[in-house]
Amino acid sequence: MKDEINKTKYVEFVNWIKNNFPLTLEIRWNQPMFTKDQTFIISVTAAKNHMSVAPEKYTLDYFRKSIQESRYKDSSHLFQIQFKQEINYDLLKRIIDFQIEDKKNYKKFWRES
């Protein structure tokens, strides 16, 4: 039962991204990734107890304080939303909007360091 609830929450989150942003959902390196104009915007993967959300490191660093204030566990390249946690959609919208704007007219898939 818990796995079904987690799956539902993950699918709802992915659908929220699909329905609210002009992005393309692609599978690359066996991971679901959202792109715009052939450049990476964000990926969201499901694990047993959480979702891993990975914008690019530059964006993650820019929003790190807000991510931590939302009580999401973060690492150098992603943050985790536990399935028992609420999803801070406002924060996710800001992150995705930032990525889209920052990578407008960007020609490569990944941001150069």
Q: What is the pTM of this model?
A: 0.92
Instruction: Check: CB of residue 103 under 8 Å from CB of residue 111.
Output: yes
Treating both helix axes as pointing N-terminal to C-terminal, what angle do 89-102 and 57-69 enclose, rounded to 10 degrees?
160
pLDDT in tens, 4-20: 768 889 999 999 999 99
pLDDT digits (tens, 9 = 90+) for 17-65: 999 999 999 998 888 899 999 999 999 999 989 999 999 999 999 999 9
Are the C-beta atoms of residues 34 and 43 closer than 8 Å to each other?
Answer: yes
Supply the DSSP symbol for 21.
Answer: S
Q: How many CB atoms lie within 10 A of CB 7?
A: 12
**Two tokens, residue 1:** 């039962």
